[in-house]
A and B are shown apart, each in its own frame.
Chain A
Amino acid sequence: MNKQAYSGPLEHIGCCCHRIPKSYKAGMRVDGHIYANDKLLEAIRKDQAPDQVANVATLPGIQVASIAMPDIHWGYGFCIGGVCATDPDEGGVITPGGIGFDINCGVRLLKTNLFLDDVKHHMRELVKALFYSVPSGAGRTGKYKFDTTETRRLMGEGPKFVINRGCGVTRDLEHTEANGLIEGGDPHQVSDHAVKRGAEQCGTLGSGNHFMEVQVVDSVFDADVAKVFGLELNQVCVMIHSGSRGLGYQVCDDSLAVFRNCPAKYGFELPDRQLACAPVDSPEGRRYIAAMRAAANYGFCNRQLLMQQAREVFASVFGRSWEALGMEMLYDVAHNIAKLEEHTVEGKKKKVWVHRKGATRAFPAGHPEVPEAFRAVGQPVIIPGDMGRASWVLVGSQGAMEKTFGTTCHGAGRAMSRTAAKTDAAGRKIDKELEHRGVIAMASSRHGLAEEQPKAYKNVDDVVEVVHEADLSRRVARMRPLGVIKG
């Protein structure tokens, strides 16, 4: 059902950008802009994701355009890969649908001083050790237990709270978006239900598309930037993809229940209930923003604890401390979030709420929010691909500031539904197939590998090619997976 193809307009307006004019649908306040090449566009037309881009264009206070990245796919309310900026001074709204249930789902890349030759004979042992040490999959709780008071403190302080308990070092914070603490979060706006869901899940991967991967740098595209990032050919890295677990889902859930009455209360109409929103400047909007920011801080803590467990496993497998193994963070990026940022709109600087739902911030060189270590080149952007082909490190560029509110893609984007991927995998052994490609994979659920098989995703290289061509970010290095653990 609902799997009809999109038959509306997509006009090429240059630089990989395709326009849905605001005349397409009643209520659109701005155009839709989808970044893609012909190959990706063909896949994008197959479902209603472009229609969702048009729906987002109806949101009160939206600026410039409803934007979608080349990894766009059909979501609920917002498409995944959607970006929208709203101006509070023009009645702009905040919408949980533009952030996602998994608030501050994101990616962290951890470097090592190991090279391919150092690990290739230890991969099975390493993946097993990671799989049995790092909790993954549905229903798993973590080894770190926090009571409700501690969980609220953790949301108020961000990863600093767990670092003070020995889980990491202060310099990790400097390599985390927003230094791991989004100001203005209020843990007391997070419901008891949400805190209860999150209290025993901090430091767990979860399931779905979340993963921890051991990867090797297999191509370097920009040697100068790679040097600044501390990346080189054949170097081994660890990529972590997870979010704010049940706590974030519940914050989103709670807000949807409150926001369901807002359109009538504030006098606007929505084409899809999942776009439920409230004016930024309203009691409902302010409460959600405070809770969402607190949940985002929990997300940073979750990835900090996951990283620390990876460090401990490497130390035990290789018999050296994580410091001696050079396990330093490159960066941590959020790709499900909304942030108040300064952008230039029609020549005027203004503060807007940038919603990134499956999209990554990509600030260029010189931006004050880029950590000092990278300010000369731009923010590292971490793009996970599928578990058989590749993932990428990109660098933020000026084009993103001009076209997409400082935003680029977030991954490969699904090409197949979970059910279709499972049917496609029937009778095959995905773990064996991956092994033939040089990847050791372990998953805690029976269907985890089938639903997440490489074929279920678009080729991330195609997605990256578009954002590079459109100057939304530039290629730095490509990594291929060696070992994967999944939920």
Chain B
Amino acid sequence: MHELFEHTADLGLRATAPNLNTLFEEMAACLVSAMVEDPASVRPLQEVKIELAGADREFLLFDWLKELLLRFDTDHVLFASFDVQVSDTGLTARVRGETYDPARHVLAHEVKAITYHELKVVQEGNEWLAEVIVDI
């Protein structure tokens, strides 16, 4: 489950999940929901593999979202589905999406960047919670 929450000048992304893999997938979907009016309009036509190293889970989440944002900004790819494996030393992900097409995709916000502000990955009972503020 994921949602956007408010922050004075910017936007917050929040997700909860039963495990870390799903948590990272949900946060990626949450980022897409901040960028595109209708995330369901993005089709999983091409696949890319992303590998990131890092033991700190919060920094790993930051790097993960940053990587997805960079792919949009440089290769103009929007993402539809995510398959993430988080380990103690980093993550590997298979990500599917398609090239941004102004005729079919309505962009909602230009996310400038992911921030460290209030960045959070925590386990609460049986559930994982993540929060991050993005700069709009």
State the A residues within 8 Å of B (CB). 1-3, 47, 73-77, 80, 101-102, 137-139, 193, 196-197, 206-208, 246, 249-250, 252-253, 256-257, 260, 272-274, 276, 414, 416-420, 445-447, 487
Does B68 sit within 8 A of A, measured CB to CB?
A: no
Please state if A256 and B107 are interface contacts (CB–CB under 8 Å): no
- What residues of chain A lie closer than 8 Å to B133, measured between beta carbons? 76
Q: Which residue of B lies closest to A138 (CB)?
A: B110
Please state if B11 and A207 are interface contacts (CB–CB under 8 Å): no
A257 CA to B66 CA in the complex, in Å?
11
Q: Smallest Cβ distance from B73 to chain A, in angstroms?
A: 5
Q: Smallest Cβ distance from B53 to chain A, in angstroms?
A: 12
- What residues of chain B lie closer than 8 Å to A276, measured between beta carbons? 116
Please state if B112 and A102 are interface contacts (CB–CB under 8 Å): yes
Does B9 sit within 8 A of A, measured CB to CB?
A: yes
Known pairs A138-B107, A249-B112, A446-B106; A73 contacts B74 (CB<8 A): no
A101 CA to B133 CA in the complex, in Å?
13
- The count of A-to-B residue pairs whose CB atoms sit within 8 angstroms is 111
Please state if A207 and B116 are interface contacts (CB–CB under 8 Å): no
A197 CA to B9 CA in the complex, in Å?
23
Say which residue of A101, A137, A419, A447 sits within 8 Å of B112 (CB atoms): A101
Please state if A418 and B6 are interface contacts (CB–CB under 8 Å): yes
Q: List 11 A-B contacts (CB under 8 A).
A: A3-B6, A75-B117, A138-B35, A139-B76, A139-B102, A193-B74, A249-B112, A249-B113, A250-B70, A250-B73, A445-B107
Q: Which residue of A lies closest to B10 (CB)?
A: A76
Say which residue of A138, A249, A260 sits within 8 Å of B135 (CB atoms): A249
Q: Which residue of A lies closest to B8 (CB)?
A: A74
Contacts of B7-38 to chain A: CB distance below 8 A: 7-12, 35, 37
Q: Which of B4, B117, B133 has the most CB of A within 10 A?
A: B117
Contacts of B53-102 to chain A: CB distance below 8 A: 59, 63, 66, 70, 73-74, 76, 100, 102
Please state if A197 and B70 are interface contacts (CB–CB under 8 Å): yes
Say which residue of B4, B110, B119 sits within 8 Å of A137 (CB atoms): B110
Please state if B109 and A445 are interface contacts (CB–CB under 8 Å): yes
Please state if A73 and B113 are interface contacts (CB–CB under 8 Å): no
Please state if A447 and B116 are interface contacts (CB–CB under 8 Å): no
Q: Smallest Cβ distance from A254 to chain B, in angstroms?
A: 10
Say which residue of A102, A193, A274, A487 sits within 8 Å of B115 (CB atoms): A274
Number of interface residues of B (CB under 8 A): 37
Does B108 sit within 8 A of A, measured CB to CB?
A: yes
Please state if B118 and A76 are interface contacts (CB–CB under 8 Å): yes
Say which residue of B7, B63, B66, B109 sits within 8 Å of A74 (CB atoms): B7
Please state if A417 and B110 are interface contacts (CB–CB under 8 Å): no
A75 CA to B110 CA in the complex, in Å?
17
- What residues of chain B lie closer than 8 Å to A75, measured between beta carbons? 8-10, 117
Q: Smallest Cβ distance from A352 to chain B, in angstroms?
A: 25
Please state if B113 and A101 are interface contacts (CB–CB under 8 Å): yes
A206 CA to B4 CA in the complex, in Å?
21
Say which residue of B6, B37, B113, B119 sits within 8 Å of A273 (CB atoms): B119
Q: Smallest Cβ distance from B38 to chain A, in angstroms?
A: 11
- What residues of chain A lie closer than 8 Å to B66, measured between beta carbons? 253
Q: Which residue of B lies closest to A420 (CB)?
A: B6
A154 CA to B107 CA in the complex, in Å?
29
- What residues of chain B lie closer than 8 Å to A256, measured between beta carbons? 116
Q: Which residue of A lies closest to B72 (CB)?
A: A139
A196 CA to B75 CA in the complex, in Å?
9
Q: Smallest Cβ distance from B41 to chain A, in angstroms?
A: 14
A249 CA to B37 CA in the complex, in Å?
23
- What residues of chain A lie closer than 8 Å to B6, measured between beta carbons? 3, 417-420
Say which residue of A2, A80, A207 sits within 8 Å of B118 (CB atoms): A2
Please state if B9 and A196 are interface contacts (CB–CB under 8 Å): no
Q: Smallest Cβ distance from A193 to chain B, in angstroms?
A: 6
- Given contacts A76-B115, A417-B9, could you give 6 more A-B pairs where the C-beta distance is less than 8 Å? A75-B9, A137-B107, A138-B35, A272-B116, A445-B106, A446-B106
- What residues of chain B lie closer than 8 Å to A137, measured between beta carbons? 107, 110
- What residues of chain B lie closer than 8 Å to A487, measured between beta carbons? 110
Q: Which residue of B lies closest to A74 (CB)?
A: B8
Q: Smallest Cβ distance from B36 to chain A, in angstroms?
A: 9
Q: Which of B8, B12, B102 has the most CB of A within 10 A?
A: B8
A274 CA to B133 CA in the complex, in Å?
11
Q: Which of A73, A139, A246, A276 has the most CB of B within 10 A?
A: A139
Q: Smallest Cβ distance from B12 to chain A, in angstroms?
A: 8
- What residues of chain B lie closer than 8 Å to A419, measured between beta carbons? 4-6, 11
Does B122 sit within 8 A of A, measured CB to CB?
A: no
Please state if B116 and A274 are interface contacts (CB–CB under 8 Å): yes
Please state if A73 and B108 are interface contacts (CB–CB under 8 Å): no
- What residues of chain B lie closer than 8 Å to A138, measured between beta carbons? 35, 107-110
A420 CA to B37 CA in the complex, in Å?
17
A250 CA to B67 CA in the complex, in Å?
11
